[in-house]
């Protein structure tokens, strides 16, 4: 068990990507390739941060701000560090930053069967506002669209 006081949330860097890809591949049926993270790191609208404990990356988030909307694209925590509050801290840090930049709503899509993630979002106040049928090409699973008023 780690103490959350040991957790640092910092900007994502290119040299973090090998560690991030390992977490990504352990977390998603169709992981983002490294190139996708590289593009996000170059984009001015992207918010890319990592959570570290003693220099080891344990989680990350990628999000966009479009006008006054925050779009959460990708969040994951290393399987060995889940259920310790890291996902919640990373997401709150992102939402707080976007709020201070003027975002007033946050939006995301999540697989209908991803109960862990849906519970995290509900804990922070997100509500389901729609379904995109067959949204995920790999499994044909529906996406639940969730929204939070910041
Ligand atoms: N069972 C039930 N509730 C859960 C679970 C679980 N396994 N995991 C998280 N929660 C909920 C709980 O409400 C929890 O609060 P509580 O501990 O007070 O009950 C809350 O989420 C916060 O939990 P954290 O410990 O902060 O969550 P964690 O660090 O484990 O990260 C995450 C959650 C990111 C969803 C993790 O399970 C993960 O990496 N999953 C694989 C990748 C993934 O599915 N990412 C989201 C895809 S959608 C998108 O990216 C937009």
For ligand 1, is residue 75 a contact (CB within 6 Å)?
A: yes
| SS3 of residue 80 by DSSP | helix
Residue 94 pLDDT: 97
Assess whether 19 carries a catalytic annotation.
no
For ligand 1, is residue 27 a contact (CB within 6 Å)?
A: yes
Assess whether 121 carries a catalytic annotation.
yes
For ligand 1, is residue 123 a contact (CB within 6 Å)?
A: yes
pLDDT value at 4 more than 90: no
**145's tokens:** 């669209």
Tell me the per-residue pLDDT of 90-130, one tens digit each, with 9 for 90 and over: 999 999 999 999 999 999 999 999 999 999 999 999 999 99
pLDDT value at 2 more than 90: no
**111's tokens:** 């697989």
The structural domains of the chain, ordered by start, are 4-109 (3.40.630.30)
Which residues make beta-bridge pairs with 132?
A: 143
pLDDT value at 1 more than 70: no
What does the alpha-carbon distance between residue 55 and residue 74 come to, in Å, rounded to a whole number? Answer: 21
What does the alpha-carbon distance between residue 147 and residue 117 come to, in Å, rounded to a whole number? Answer: 14
């Amino acid at each position: 068990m780690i103490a959350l006081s040991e957790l640092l949330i910092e900007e994502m860097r290119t040299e973090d990507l090998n560690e991030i890809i390992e977490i990504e591949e352990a977390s998603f049926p169709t992981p983002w390739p490294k190139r996708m993270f590289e593009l996000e790191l170059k984009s001015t609208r992207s918010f890319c941060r990592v959570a570290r404990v003693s220099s080891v990356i344990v989680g990350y988030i990628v999000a966009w701000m479009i006008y006054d909307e925050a779009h959460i694209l990708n969040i994951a925590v290393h399987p060995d560090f889940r259920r310790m509050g890291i996902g919640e801290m990373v997401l709150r840090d992102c939402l707080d930053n976007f709020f201070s930049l003027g975002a007033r709503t946050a939006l995301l899509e999540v697989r209908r069967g991803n109960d862990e993630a849906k519970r995290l979002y509900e804990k922070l106040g997100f509500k389901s506002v729609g379904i995109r049928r067959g949204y995920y090409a790999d499994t044909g699973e529906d996406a639940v669209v969730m929204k939070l008023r910041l």
